[in-house]
Structure 1
Amino acid sequence: MKALIRADASVDIGMGHRVRCQALAQALVELGWTCCFVVDRRYQAFAAANDYFIDSEAECLALASNADLMILDHYGYLADDITALFQAQPNLLVLDDMNDRGDFSAKWVLNPINQTYSANVEHALIGSQYALLRPEFLARSTQFNHASNQLLITLGGTDPLALTLPILQALNARGFLMTDIQVLLGSSAKNADAVKRFCQDHAIALEQGLSDVTPLMGRAKMAISAAGSTLYELACLGVPTIFAQVADNQTRSLQQHVPLGWCDSMRFDTLSENERRAQTEALVKTVVAKWQDDRWLRTARDTALSLVDGRGAARVANCVTSS
């Protein structure tokens, strides 16, 4: 059985699409599938050598008709494009976040937040139980020590708005203990050299490009994070978090998770550079207040742990295989 996955990654797109699709691909492989990514040639620097590289979406349609399953995680596809892909490959799984592309046809749609889709979708896999996490998250937070005074800062695989350095500078200006900070940079993070110099000058622990981030997340008392797929990773490991929203597609997940009480958020992607500086100060002020609120931290951790169990990829793979 052959599955094709249409997803791209880049500094501007981020790594989230690729990462969550890799988690699903691994679960499918364990059930006997062969999986291959279909990637726009412009983004081959963020792809693997054995990916299919295409120059137009028409090539993807041709490839889809010769597969047993097509997985689509691509915001460039609107409703008509998705329906055309479904006509080429009726075993179509669409990964979605915003539900803002109109009614489309698909065999399955996967959305880890609660959304309602039309009857043109045969099976809706909805809710955080379907969040696609890598297998290492199955270890769960009970195996980690959250008692340490460690603030994890992770702004995604690429840190598209280069927020890590100004957040560190604002924390330092407020007198936050620099040795209590752990920075995690993606392998393609913007402004990485400047972040590394600042961390070296202030004795801040830093890791970049880790394949397994669970030990760092598992030690964190609290986190500052971008709100893509990392939201579900941090929830799974029970880490109270202040999210910096860096993309529009993160809006609805934050709208559903912030009211639950385990996290807070501030939006950056719609702001000018000057406005981002003020927003950074506001974010750090919130972090410092929450850091000292032991009651909130305990409640937030328990709530987060109840939301995501790390088995979403296996659930989706089983649904697809058994249908």
Structure 2
Amino acid sequence: MHVLILTEGSSQIGFGHITRCTSLYQAFELFGAEPFMVVKGDKSARTVLEGLSYEILDWQKGWKAFRESLKDFELVVVDSYLAPKELYEDIANLKPTLFIDDYNRLEYPKGVVLNGSVYAPELAYPRKKELIYLLGGKYIPLRRAFWSCPTLRIRKRLRRLLITFGGDDARNMTPKVISFLRKNFPSLEIFVVVGGGFKNREEILTLRDQKVKVFERLSAEDMKALMLSVEVCISAGGQTSYELARLGVPAILVAVAENQLLNCEGWHKVGFARYAGWWEDKELFERLGKYLQEFINYQERLRASRIGKSLVDGKGALRVVKFVLMAFRKGLSYPSL
């Protein structure tokens, strides 16, 4: 089966869509399908597409011309915040379709809607004939490196902390957080991840010292190993939060995009992470310090770790792909929610 994955990602909007689509791409391969990804974005997206079959193309703007290529695929996956409803309807009328959603963005046409977010079951999705919903953390698609993971040992002392703000850090949060930690928590060893789209790379490199180490061009396996080596992570509130939950690494989240707000609030509510606030909040660093003080307590980190691992087991991409392949191959009906 040939599978077309349509998504978007760039240095301006980040790479979260590409990351989770990569998870599905890898799962489709495991089940014997042949996926191909088309990304609306810029050349910076290539940094997170290595090893995949893909094309950088504005498939939305050039839809009329691109539409003809759908004949070569049996199944389509769409993950977009930008594509209009009419385009979704056109795709669904042409091919069986899996739609990836985060916040009930629109009323989807026939097919399968995937929202693996921790808050997804609470959203008021409309009941609709010929539409299936896959909702909640058991369906969150994570990269292959996170399908099988060692058991994290929660260490008594908080000594190492990870900072990661995705592939681009468009809000320039990384140097601000480093400076805050150096001043207020000088004993901590700080590991910093710099993504391929970082425009502030040089500024971050000037902050390196014996306590601040910078890591670049990390594979998913490298990222997993780095996460497992720390006690706490300060992160943006996107896809990385689910990888942290999978491993059981307690997190303090900063929302750097509006689509991360529900995610951050959801993780705070269930107790896995602490939500420090929107990136522009005046009290952001005050809360960041407060929550880091809380995580100095071993029992608080142990509790958060257990909650995260109980909600995300890393098998979401496999569950989703197995379901849609069976459904579309056997022509199963679409029961209402």
Q: 1:120 to 1:64 in 2, by over 3 A?
A: farther
User: Cα distance 1:230–1:59, how it changes in 2: closer, same or farther (>3 A)?
Assistant: farther
Return closer, same or farther for 1:286/1:4 CA change in 2, 3 Å cut-off: same
Match of 2:104 among 99, 102, 107: 99
C-alpha RMSD of the superposition: 2.0
Partner of 1:11: 11
Corresponding position of 1:138:
147
- 2: CA distance, partners of 1:8 / 1:264: 29
Query: Cα–Cα, structure 1 residues 286 and 63, in superposed 2: closer, same or farther, change >3 Å?
Result: farther
> 1:315 — aligned with what?
319
Structure 2: 5+ residue runs without aligned partners?
328-337
Q: CA deviation at 1:33?
A: 0.9
TM-score by length of 2: 0.86
Aligned pair partner of 1:250 in 229, 237, 260: 260
How do residues 1-323 of structure 1 correspond to structure 2 at under 5 angstroms?
1-40=1-40, 42-47=41-46, 50-55=53-58, 56-89=62-95, 91-101=96-106, 103-112=107-116, 113-114=120-121, 115=123, 116-120=125-129, 122-142=131-151, 144-147=152-155, 149-178=159-188, 180-199=189-208, 201-211=209-219, 212=221, 213-269=223-279, 271=280, 275=281, 278-323=282-327
1:186 deviates by 1.5
Other structure's SS at 1:225 match: strand
- Residue 296 and residue 80 in structure 1: after superposition, are their counterparts in 2 closer, same or farther (change >3 A)? same
Matched residues, percent identical? 27
Quote the Cα distance in structure 2 between the aligned partners of 1:266 and 1:65. 47
Describe the SS at the equivalent of 1:139: coil
TM-score by length of 1: 0.89
Structure 2 letter corresponding to 1:176: P
Letter of the structure 1 residue corresponding to residue 22 of structure 2: Q
Deviations 1:246-274 (A, max 9, x none): 111112222322111111113335x3xxx
Residues 94-114 of structure 1 show CA distances to partners (whole Å, capped at 9, x for unaligned) of 11111132x120311100132
Aligned length: 311
Cα distance in 1 for residues equivalent to 2:212 and 2:57: 42
| Distance (Å, rounded) in 2 between the aligned partners of 1:121 and 1:229 | 28
Cα deviations by residue, 1:39-76 (Å, 9 ceiling, x for unpaired): 23x52442358423434233443322431111101111
Q: Distance in 2 between matches of 1:36 and 1:67?
A: 9
